[in-house]
Amino acid sequence: MRFRLALSCMLLALSLTACLTAPSTDREPAPTEATLPPATPQPCPTTEALSPWRQVVDALSFDSLLGYVEALSQIQPYSGWRNSATSGELEAVEYASGVLESFANLAESGMTVEVEEFNVFMATEVWDAQLSVTIDGQEYEIPVTAPRGPRDDTLIAASFDSDGRLGDEEPDPLTIEGLVMVVDSESSIRSLSQEARDRILFVPHALVDRAIKHPTEAESLATDILRAGPRAVVLITEWSPRDAESHGSFAYEGGAFAEVNDNHTPIVVARLEDMAHAGIGELLDLEQIEEATVVVDTDVLSPGRSRNLVARIPGRDDSRAVILTAHIDSPQNPGAMDDGSGSAILLEVARALDQTGYRPAVTTYLVWFGSEELYLYGSNAFVANHQDLLDQTLAMVQLDCLVHPLGGLTGRTDFIYWSYARFGDDAYPLAQVVRRAAADLGFPILVLDVLGPVTDSSPFAGFDVPHGSVGRGIVEGASEHPHNVAAIHCPYDTPDLVEEESEALMEMARLALLTILEVGEQSSDLHTTSPAQGRAVFVGTHTEPLYMGPSALTDFAMALEYAGLDVDLIPFGETISPQDLEGAQVVFALPTIDYPSREAGSLAAYDVSWGAEEIDTRGGYAEEGGLLVILNSRHRLKYAYPPLDENEDWSDVNALSEVFGVTFYEGAPWGELGQAGDHRLVQGLETLQLAKSNGVSFTYERGESLALVQGDPAMALVPYGDEGGEVLVMGDLGMLRNAGDGGTPRNLQLWINLAEYCLER
């Protein structure tokens, strides 16, 4: 949940840095604010006067909620907890599934529970992490965990693998023993001597905390520590309830060492509070430690395996649905608030439905997403594999997450969504439903139109599903870093703090439940788009990265939807037939790419390839007069990130493209801008935004260049067949994604032009 706090801080016109892979990379899109004035509390009606669905809302219990939070927070403590795509995450899914199976009334009503697995690019499993210290000749065991490295750089991530071999899951603990040196200041870091090479360094995390220091400075200090050549590093976090002071943000993931540990230095993280039994009550007491032993056993997997948990509760009307979601993984810490709070609310919703016996008006899905902390993997996987359900969905609501404000700051329950404001329509009927629900419940709410990817509700925007996220944000007096105003993404995200925020947690639970129940009862159309006049089919059968389809090319997909096209996806691993393309105004052949990379050393695991029948299906569609768009990408892409690891499969698409006289080849790297021509598809554009060095050069036998980069075609339109078929070739998928600067996308006019062109053909 690292995004909601940043949005709240932006309301104060502060310049913040968002945390997409680490807390310093991309800025978040500026939100559009619409705040509901504080509601006038209404007297609670008697039980007899309550509607049946309000009785379900009133059945929610904080004690029950807290019990679920505590259970989730105790999963694999100091062993990665329920970190993304790990055995801890699986254990959490199994726990939630077991709770659901205990609800006899829901089972009798036909509830089904299913675990859906999917791959992520990379995951880190912490099998074991230990620290023992010797003080006055006595040895003490200290609870520690091992941090994970970057989420998308396999070379540096290998330094966080105890044996340095990606994909190896064999037990191979690394044990380091040695004398101790305490580093207590920035100046001592800068002046580390040769003596540090033989020592285990104990370093207060505050010295390298990216939440209170500029990321560049924090990384420079971390680099100096590693260059000193210590045998191991022990980071020490310390709780502070004050804003702008370190409390261990990103100590476990995304911290200063995550991008610079390229020499396989073992690192563990300890809480100062867990050292009290050894007589260490403050940082100065670390000087008492004479010797230490560090044990680390971690494995980095590429690809990793994650999962979603999906509970389906049949409604009185089974032809329509609502979806309520949360993410079950945590950022390698107890995760009581992020997002144990949301995951517990889903369980409590199920319990309340079971207790009251209320059957929802429409079929209700409760979904626990995995690997949100790797940036929305679970929700992207869900929308990719539930196309029919999305067409039936009246609305989805995400619960992301509770916060505990620090330093006397205040919070407010909020609702965020992604409207069609970029296309001239900022109306959002679902937001009005939420406003009314909050007023009915008697508390104020902050409503934000974020116009960008923020949380697990965002991928649903790419498929025109009315959506939004209920959570808790900081709204007053925040410091300059969003993750330092509340205790999330730190070792102190614990049930104790959840208990202190009992009223806020109940607000979130009641608002989300009342919203989806009332949406179901009303069963009104909450879309802002007009009825679809045609289809846009994205074929991702050879595209494993979830971020290279309509759920992450969101504004582009929304341009198609707003023009009147129903967006569908045929996901990775599926087969395609001519029937899948019937009635399609346009078909997008997404880039050929899978997760294994040369750096990960796992190319032999599996590889994408094209079959003759698949090629004939696409060729037949174009030959019959369709518009086929062939897309390529030299790298794996992920929202607004710079291009990531190289795509070794880029040339495989030639098996398809050469049918149309188009050949991709190894050309010079492209820049960030292309020059637009005068074809109607690029009217209103002088330049096109490209993903730097991501374009794949191509030649074509006949047709017209629509855009050039360094004199070579970046986009071309090729005629095909005798029925007016066309093939639009785009050498860089980056033309269809947002640049990530938070403003109006540079290529927005291209997307609008293409949508209109598809409908008019």
Comparison of pLDDT for 62 and 10, the residue scoring more? 62
The percentage of residues in the chain with a pLDDT greater than 70, rounded to a whole number, is 91
Residue with tokens 């200090």: 221
Dist. CA 513–CA 735, nearest whole Å: 39
How would residue 672 be classed by pLDDT, with cut points 50, 70 and 90? very high
Spatial distance between the Cα atoms of 194 and 179, rounded to a whole number of angstroms: 14
User: Mean pLDDT across the stretch 76-91?
Assistant: 96
Instruction: Please state the rounded mean pLDDT for residues 34-39.
Output: 37
Q: Is the pLDDT of residue 213 over 70?
A: yes
Q: How far is C-alpha 15 from the geometric centre of its chain's CA atoms? A: 22
- What's residue 8's pLDDT? 43
**What is the three-class DSSP state of 455?**
coil
Q: Rounded mean pLDDT of the chain?
A: 90
Rg (CA), the chain: 26
Confidence of residue 466 (pLDDT cuts 50, 70, 90): very high
Q: Tokens for 55?
A: 């009785």
> Per-residue confidence at 367, pLDDT binned at 50, 70, 90?
very high
Tokens encoding 16: 């913040």
CA–CA gap between residue 180 and residue 134 (Å, rounded):
10
Asked if residue 395 has pLDDT above 60, the reply is yes
Domains of the chain: 4-20+31-121+304-522 (3.40.630.10), 123-301 (3.50.30.30), 534-760 (3.40.50.880)
Instruction: Report the greatest alpha carbon distance in the chain.
Output: 89
Say whether 318 sits in a helix, a strand or coil.
Answer: strand
Alpha carbon 716 to chain centroid, angstroms: 33
Residues 372 and 329: beta-carbon distance below 8 Å: yes
Q: What is the pLDDT of residue 155?
A: 87
Closest by CA position to 322, among listed 378, 269, 285, 367 = 367
What is the model's pLDDT at position 720?
97
CA distance 664 to 698: 4
Three-state SS at 89? helix
- Mean pLDDT, rounded, for 328-341: 96
Side chain identity at residue 753, one-letter code: N
* Bond before 303 cis per omega within 30 degrees: yes
DSSP secondary structure of 125-174: EEEEEEEEEEETTEEEEEEEE-----SS-HHHHGGGSTTS-TT--S---E
Distance of alpha carbon 492 from alpha carbon 62, whole angstroms: 21
* Predicted local distance difference test score (pLDDT) of residue 480: 56
Q: Ranked by mean pLDDT, which of 189-203, 458-472, 606-620 comes out on top?
A: 458-472
pLDDT of residue 14: 27
The pLDDT of residue 108 is 97
Is the predicted pLDDT of residue 38 greater than 50, yes or no?
no
pLDDT recorded at residue 49: 53
The answer to whether 377 touches 453, Cβ cutoff 8 Å, is no
- List all residues 6 or more positions away from 515 whose beta carbon is below 8 Å from its beta carbon: 395, 397, 433, 434, 437, 470
**pLDDT attached to residue 10:** 36
Residue 167 binned pLDDT confidence (cut-offs 50, 70, 90)? confident
Mean pLDDT of 13-19: 29
pLDDT confidence tier of residue 16, bands split at 50, 70 and 90: very low
pLDDT at 600: 58
- Indicate the pairing of strand 199-204 with strand 232-237: parallel
Residue 30 — pLDDT band, cuts 50, 70, 90? very low
Chain segment 704-757, per-residue pLDDT in tens: 999 999 899 999 999 999 999 999 999 999 999 987 666 889 999 999 999 999
Return the structure tokens found at 587: 């078909």
Measure Cα distances from 713 to 463, 548, 628, 731 in Å. 31, 22, 18, 8
Bridge partners of residue 717, in order along the sequence: 704, 728
Higher-confidence residue of 729 and 598: namely 729
**Sole residue written with tokens 């104020």:** 444
